[in-house]
Structure 1
Amino acid sequence: MEILVKRVAQGPNTTLGHLYIDGVFECYTLEDTDRGLHSKMTLAELLRIKLHSWTCIPTGRYKLGKRYSPAFKRILPWLLSVLGFEYIYFHSGNKHEETKGCLLTGTDFKKLKNGDFYATDSRPAFNSLWEKMEAAWARNEEVWCAVEREYIPSA
């Protein structure tokens, strides 16, 4: 399974994305601020720019696994080997304060007065994504996630 997260819009503290599974739109994503990190950077370069719990992961391609999250008290999809980041998950949530570097899902979004984005109907979006990932793993498929920038000027 190939997941693609296209970052399409930025607010002062948020990054809105479109998530595709094997080329088909699945849901929206909400992340922290995109500070221009990419997977070709060195750890030292990343750490000079990154603000802990307030920065999107670097663009790049990551294998997904599953891991128990003590914070959520459940198993979640886990992006592996994200340089400079630990325990990056897909999970439900609505606002950037809930991301802490992770990717939140939503069936829709709202743009707030301050220009930030807010994910709506997060739990149904996450549950649908999780079911599709679980089905792929049950078929012994690997699950990968690419993260790219493709900002839309008027979003």
Structure 2
Amino acid sequence: MELLLMRRYSPRGVNGLLQFQGQILCSTIELPWRDNLPHISCIPEGKYRIAKRHSPRFGWHFEIEAVSGRDFILFHPANDAEKELRGCIAPVLRHTGEGKGVQSKMALDKLKKVLYPLLDQGHEIFLTIKNNSK
């Protein structure tokens, strides 16, 4: 099963649309592309496996596995990439600017409602990230 993230790059942040089985689930925000440098860049385009993860800070969320040169890349709530992200992806219900959005917790809850049952049933879910700026 595949999630498709179509990105639009800008100097102050990356905005995206996240689709699953042809349906848009939510929008996303990320840090700008800065050569995949840890904590200051979005991750490279490509295909990654996602898994359920729990932490005291974010509760239940998703981890994006096997990102080259990076650890603990997550889908977690945030509404301002520059202030709240360190390389992760935040789902949002609507973009409000470059790397900014609103209602991130609601967007993450929507993702969990759709994807957690599938992961619990043993399905593998992959995230494919592509450039939509062209």
TM-score normalised over the length of structure 2: 0.90
Q: Identity over aligned residues, as a percent?
A: 27
* Partner residue in 2 for 1:108: 94
C-alpha distance after superposition, 1:59-105 (max 9, x if no partner): 10001112222432x23211110011110111111001211111001
Cα deviation for residue 6 of structure 1 reads: 0.5
Q: Select 1:87's aligned residue among 43, 53, 72.
A: 72
How far apart are the structure 2 equivalents of 1:109 and 1:50? 23
The AA in structure 2 aligned to 1:58 is P
Q: Select 1:124's aligned residue among 106, 109, 117.
A: 106
Cα deviation for residue 130 of structure 1 reads: 1.1
* Partner residue in 2 for 1:4: 4
Q: Indicate how the Cα distance of structure 1 residues 101 and 95 shifts in structure 2: closer, same or farther if over 3 A, else same.
A: same
Q: Indicate how the Cα distance of structure 1 residues 138 and 85 shifts in structure 2: closer, same or farther if over 3 A, else same.
A: same
Runs of 4+ aligned structure 1 residues displaced above 3 Å come to none
3-state DSSP of counterpart to 1:16: strand
Gaps of 5+ in 2: none
Aligned length: 133
C-alpha distance after superposition, 1:21-78 (max 9, x if no partner): 112111110000124xxxxxxxxxxxxx333311010110001112222432x23211
How far apart are the structure 2 equivalents of 1:75 and 1:131? 12
* Structure with higher strand content: 2
Structure 2 residue 58 is the aligned partner of structure 1 residue 76? no
Structure 2 residue 115 is the aligned partner of structure 1 residue 133? yes
How far apart are the structure 1 equivalents of 2:52 and 2:79? 22
3-state DSSP of counterpart to 2:76: strand
* Partner residue in 2 for 1:30: 29
